[in-house]
Amino acid sequence: MIQRFLADEGGATAVEYGLMALVVAVIAIVAMTDFGESGAGKYDYITAAVTTATSGS
């Protein structure tokens, strides 16, 4: 019974999947944060250009 418990690798597999999910989540958060900052600057630029174009007439 104890040998079977020690040979069981089901928990190790769950931990590996958990670590992979954590790495994917961290990469996604970093990518979204970076894109969010650069996207906000582009949005502000477009807003200013549209405002200038529409108020000039």
pLDDT at position 20 is 94
- Secondary structure of the chain as H, E, C letters: CHHHHHHCCHHHHHHHHHHHHHHHHHHHHHHHHHHHHHHHHHHHHHHHHHHHHHHCC
The Cα–Cα gap between 34 and 29 comes to: 9
Residue written as token pair 């597999």: 13
Full pLDDT tens readout for the chain, 57 residues:
777 766 766 677 888 899 999 999 999 999 888 877 777 788 888 889 898 888 865
Q: Whole-angstrom Cα distance, residue 36 to residue 56?
A: 30
Q: DSSP assignment, residue 46?
A: H
Tell me what pLDDT residue 56 has: 64
